[in-house]
Amino acid sequence: MSGSRCARLGGPLVRQLLDSVDSVLFDCDGVIWRGDQAIPGAARVISLLKQRGKKVFFVTNNSTKTRKMYADKLSSLGFDAAEDEVFGTAFCCAAYLRSECGLRGKVYLVGSDAMRQELEAVGIQAVGVGPDPVSGKQLDWASVPLDPEVQAVVVGFDEHFSYMKLNRAMQYLTQKDCLFVGTNRDTRLPLEGGKAVPGTGCLLQAVETAAQRQAQTVGKPSRFMFECVARRFDLRPERCLMVGDRLDTDILLGSACGLKTLLTLTGVSTAAEAAAHRDSGDNERRAMVPDYYVESIADLLPALQGEDDPSL
C-alpha cells in the first residue's frame, strides 16, 4: 500500500509515532486477543508502553463484561491492566444515561447481567435481564405488562434475545418520551480460527425495525466513547493513538475525534479494504482510512525494546 495515509508502520516511523503520543487506546477483540487467546507479543507491548510513560486504555464495544471482569480477563492473559483503564460499552452506556441524559428512572434492558451491574452502579435499576419466553396469543403480546417507571430501552448483547423481548422493547418504545440507547452496531463478533457469531448490531437493528425508531449508540464509532475516557483522564486528542482492527468502528472513531490511528490486521478489516476506502474519493469512506497499519501490534516491539536504535 502507498499514499500519505495508510502507510505500513515500521522502522523509524514507529518511534516517530510513539514519540508523538502520550496515550494509546486499544480495542480488545482482534487486537490484543482473539476469543480467549492473547495475540502473541501483545502483553509485552502494553507493558513496554507503560514503562515508557504512556497511558494505556482498553476501549471495547463488547457489553458482556463489567470493567472488573475485563480487568480480570486482561490479567489472566498476562496483561498489565487496571480496572479504571477499561472502557466497555456496559460502563459507557451507564455513564451516558446518567451524565448525558440525567436518567433517574428504570430501564428495560435487552442485555447482559454485566450491563445490569454497571447500570446499578450509577443508581439506575434495570428490568428484563434473562429469558422472556413466549406465552399467550398475539393480542396478549400486544398488551404485555409494562413497568410505568421505565424511561429508556437499552440494547446490548443478549444471549437470551427472543421474540418476546423484541415485542416488549417495541411496546415501551411506542411511548415517545422513552429513550432508546444501543451499545454498538457491530454485526459480527470474530472468534479464533476465523469463526464468527452475530453481534449486538443484529439485535439492535431488529428492535429499531420493530419500533420504527433509531437508537442513539454510545460505542465506537460514537464520539462519546472517546469522550468517556478523555473526560476522566484529561486526554488531548492530538496526543492519542487509537489502535483497532475494524475500519468502521475503531478507525472511524479515531478519525472523528482527531486521534492518530493504527489498523492491526489480526482481526476483521484488511489492508485491501483500507486501500479501497482511501482511493474511493468518497469522504465518508476516507474517514475509515487509518494513518498506519501493521500485521500485528507485536510489530511495535522492536522499537519499544530499542532493537532498531541503541539510544532507546
Q: Which residues are annotated as a binding site for Mg(2+)?
A: 27, 29, 245
Select from 184, 51, 181 the least CA-distant residue to 126.
Answer: 181
Select from 310, 288, 309, 307 the least CA-distant residue to 299.
Answer: 307
Helix residue ranges, H only, the chain = 12-19, 42-51, 67-76, 89-95, 113-121, 138-141, 163-173, 200-211, 223-233, 252-257, 271-278, 283-286, 301-304
Q: Which residues are annotated as a binding site for substrate?
A: 220
Q: Which residues are annotated as a binding site?
A: 27, 29, 220, 245
Distance of CA 135 to the CA centre of its chain: 35
Identified catalytic residue from 19, 22, 29, 299: 29
Cα(199)–Cα(295) distance, rounded to whole angstroms? Answer: 24
Is 27 one of the annotated active-site residues of the chain? yes
Cα(58)–Cα(309) distance, rounded to whole angstroms? Answer: 28
Task: Report the DSSP beta bridge partners of residue 24.
Answer: 56, 241
Identified catalytic residue from 27, 158, 186, 299: 27
What SS3 state is found at 80?
A: coil
Residues with a catalytic annotation lie at 27, 29
